[in-house]
Chain A
Amino acid sequence: MTDTLERESRLQGMGVSRLRKEDARFIRGRGTYVDDIKLPGMLFGAIVRSPFAHARIKSINKEKALKVPGVVAVLTADDLKPVKLHWMPTLGGDVQAVLADKKVCFQYQEVAMVLAADRYAAADGVDAVEVEYEELPAIVDPRRSMDKGAPVIREDIADKDEVGHGKRTHPNHIFTWEAGDKASTDDAFRNAAVTVREEILNPRVHPCPLETCGCVASFDKVTGQLTVYLTSQAPHLVRTVVAMLSGIPESKIRLVGGDIGGGFGNKVPVYPGYVIATVASIVTGLPIKWIESRIENISTTGFARDYHGVGELAADKDGRIKGLRFTALADHGAFNSHVSATKFPAGLFSICTGSYDIPRAYCRVDAVYTNKAPGGVAYRCSLRVTEAVYLIERMMDVLAQKVGVDKAEIRRRNFVKKEQFPYTTALGWTLDSGDYHTALEKVLKAVDYEGLRKEQAEKRKKGELMGIGISTFTEIVGAGPNKVCDILGISLFDSCDIRVNPTGSAIARLGTMTQGQGHMTTYAQIIATELGLPSDEIQIEEGDTDKAPYGAGTWGSRSTPVGGAAAAMAARKIKAKAQKIAAHLLEVGEGDLEWEIDRFKVKGSPGKFKTMKDIAMAAHTSSIPDGMEKGLDASEYYDPPNMTFPFGAYVCVVDIDKHTGETRVRRFYALDDCGTRINPMIIEGQIHGGLTEAFAVAMGQQVPFDEAGNHLGNSLMDYFLPTAMETPRWETDHTVTPSPHHPIGAKGVAESPHVGGIPCFTNAVVDAFAHLGVTHMDMPHTSYRVWQQAHKLGIDKR
């Protein structure tokens, strides 16, 4: 190996599929997840929950529970009233009951917390708490929420004519939000040669990470210090919220996001369990652990989607889109806890023009309350992006079928062309980079698309069902720029502190929060390449708010776009200082130096150089220029100038048994463009995981209810988490279209496969029936539901 190649390879930096640094503890079972934490004197909290979806609380009797051996206390809303924490503000501009006072609004809502010496006593205590309810009629169908005379769910805000996002027109109405030019779009529809309309449901699902939510809250009465170990994707934001709610100075609050067993958006909100445990700890001075069960997790924590959409496209006879009109009825459950930037209560739904050049567009979301768990969250996506991309990718196929144009061709005809970037959509987003045509062609060639269509035609003659699904999606991630995003007014920047020690290793702390994405490795790789230091010697820390600089956490694929940028920029500050020191040491001007891999060389004198390691030592000695501060540290608080726009082209081939509805995914080919690729191995792992979650959503996940608001499938008996048996094999590919604004051109990738995958599966399933006139089928595509379609067409008969 040549000298430069050898030095490069020693760095294990950008672009290398280096093994992960965090694996060492996980393969030994030495991770520290919240439930692993045991503190002296710790009590265990378990929650008493409502069996009814809508009911008044007539009485709560703690007597029997307090007699259960090991039970220390039973907390109800009355115990939280003195500190005004029986209600808490949500990240959606609403309020949510921490412990129900007077009424419950969803099944499993929190009514009391039993504190006991251990979880066995706590479970017995929960059983012994006696609550008397008076059942009320429940609203489960969001289309009934705004009926005249509908039961009022939120009596607590009955007198409020707005809940954070504009005027409410009904007690069960939350907000109405719109974007685009309605008049102009309506005009496009009136004059269009072709229009298509489809009612499209994104059912309520749940991110269901393998580790449920929980915390250990520990208040030290002597020091006044509150420490909370927490399953949180955003520890700093939660710390600020806790400070606001508790009145404890934020400097005395330490949130620790340690090892987290998957987040997927489920671990962003602040849940009542955290608040009650924290209050209990403050009152008792003892550590309090609360860990929810799986059923509690699926039933009460952040659900996703539940968007009842209508998609409409107006086009010419060749399928060139002239107008887009998308509306959605959003079911937020009983409290709006959906993270909402002030201007975007429906998240980034307006990205729904997708990868296409659409001159006129309008979208509107009407959000309502129902007697279901509050939410939603962004399940492995940016807020509401899955809903948006699902709509547009489905409608492209619907339009293709209407005008009789091939489903790949319809996309080619409508793509934003490479030369049109930066392209501002009719709904106001500026897509800064992309090359959709190249991605699509690469994928179609890889799968022999023409051959597949021929095969499909043959199979159709024989009455066999084969479907080909295409998804060419653009994602919008990396929240986000000041001008667009905030949470509770706080900007969504992120940060990186880097300290290089005299002996040339470094430690970097960031405000993001890994839950399995490999930050210990990928951030080290970015810094390794920037600074010329081996990634093995760059320690990465996140999650402890006492140590890490302020950041908005990890969700919506923002770590690489924002945290990664902060890391690169901080490293560049260090590099700039290092260059000055190198010039000083080599007795040349800064301009006489050039950087090569791990050192500054004097131009034209290859023997004269200083490595970053040399400079690191020098920075701590007197060998630095006069007037320069010692040390080699830097901080960057990075405010991204724009979101980033990863994109992809996916093809899915399915074979459907028309007699049983069983759908076999024969092939799934996923091409992703996430700009600059930090660690291909990690990227591939993220794609596999995201596609698997997409598969689960499209083919089986749902959180169903009966008409009284009772859960019908809220355990892993029913909730579809595919095993290795059900999960298809994935083929991955890529193109590289760097982000023009990101310091290393990277865009973020982990959520793309989920967002792009879901419509791809649906498109494949519908395509299998398309020749029989089917234009749409709602998820989940369980065998049962697919069979129902076949049965309706009469093709299941033998």
Chain B
Amino acid sequence: MAKKIAVSFKLNGKPVDAVVEPRELLIHTLREKLGHTGPHIGCETSHCGACTVDLNGMSVKSCTQLTVQCEGADVLTIEGFEQGGVLHALQEGFTQQHGLQCGYCTPGMITRAYRLLKEIPNPTEEEIRYWMAGNLCRCTGYMNIVKAVQHAAKALAAKAA
């Protein structure tokens, strides 16, 4: 067995440490060592996107990221979205627009949409579908997810104004 490595990074704004084998995947560290079960596992071939986190300003599939690569990183998961009891506009949007049913894809969807809206604050429907195509959903058929993201985009724009 390879020697374990101590990794320190920021998780939802708080410093965390983990001692991991080099082969340990970030999704497992988050879920099993750090108690953050929001990101989910839906496949093992890097397709479904349920494990999506925001890592150093990028939407990343945490199942395809080694924890040892995260030294000093800034990681945001779904658990970090609600601040001081106030839901993020995306969390509101998904609720208001019925953008979830079983909830399994939802953390990954919201986390991905977060970065999308940072890069494209007012996306068209086409753009939402294209830039969210790394997140699979089996329940909603995506129409309400598009509406949820548009809802959040409006709310964030209003707040910024």
Contact = CB atoms under 8 A, between A and B. Distances in A.
Interface residues on chain A, size class: 35 or more
A691 B79 contact: no
Nearest to B47: A716
B136 interface: yes
A208 B50 CA distance: 14
A407 B144 CA distance: 32
B81 A28 contact: yes
Interface string B140-151: 111111100000
Interface residue SS majority, chain B: loop
B32 A262 contact: no
Interface in B48-64: 48, 50
Nearest to B1: A69
Contacts of B100: 23, 26-27
A717 B43 CA distance: 10
Interface string B36-74: 111111111101101000000000000000000000000
B86 interface: no
A295 B41 CA distance: 13
B141 A516 contact: no
Nearest to B143: A688
A78 interface: no
B128 A724 contact: yes
Q: B42, B135, B144: which has the most chain A beta carbons within 10 Å?
A: B42
A684 B140 CA distance: 9
Contact of A29 (B78, B132, B136): B78
B107 A691 contact: no
B95 A211 contact: no
A682 interface: yes
Interface residues of B, number: 58
Contacts of A685: 98, 101, 139-141, 144
B153 interface: no
Nearest to B94: A27
Contacts of A293: 43-44
Nearest to B88: A27
Interface in A11-29: 19-20, 22-29
B23 interface: yes
Contacts of B47: 715-717, 721
Interface in A52-86: 69
Contacts of A19: 95-96, 98
Interface in B8-53: 21, 23-24, 28, 31-32, 36-45, 47-48, 50
B41 A35 contact: yes
B141 A730 contact: yes
Given A27-B106, A208-B138, A295-B44, A120 B101 contact: no
Q: B44, B78, B142: which has the most chain A beta carbons within 10 Å?
A: B142
Nearest to B87: A27
A724 B32 contact: no
Contacts of A261: 40, 42, 102-104
A716 B44 CA distance: 9
A26 B130 CA distance: 24
Given A22-B103, A23-B95, A209-B138, A294 B143 contact: no
Contact of B48 (A24, A29, A36, A210): A210
A614 B136 CA distance: 48
Contacts of B42: 210-212, 261, 294
Contact of A260 (B21, B91, B102, B107): B102
Given A35-B41, A69-B1, A729 B143 contact: yes
B43 A28 contact: no
Contacts of B103: 22-23, 25-27, 31, 259, 261, 516
B133 interface: yes
A210 B32 contact: no
A264 B138 CA distance: 9
Contacts of A721: 47-48, 136, 138
B75 interface: no
A248 to B, nearest CB: 29
Interface of B: 1, 21, 23-24, 28, 31-32, 36-45, 47-48, 50, 77-79, 81-82, 87, 91, 94-96, 98, 100-107, 110, 128-130, 132-146
10 contacts: A22-B103, A38-B32, A210-B136, A294-B42, A516-B101, A688-B143, A715-B47, A724-B128, A724-B133, A724-B145
Q: Which 5 A-B pairs have the closest CB atoms?
A: A29-B38, A516-B102, A26-B103, A261-B104, A688-B141
Given A692-B138, A692-B140, 17 more contacts: A19-B96, A35-B40, A35-B41, A119-B28, A211-B102, A211-B104, A261-B40, A262-B139, A293-B44, A690-B141, A693-B138, A721-B138, A723-B129, A723-B132, A723-B135, A724-B146, A725-B133
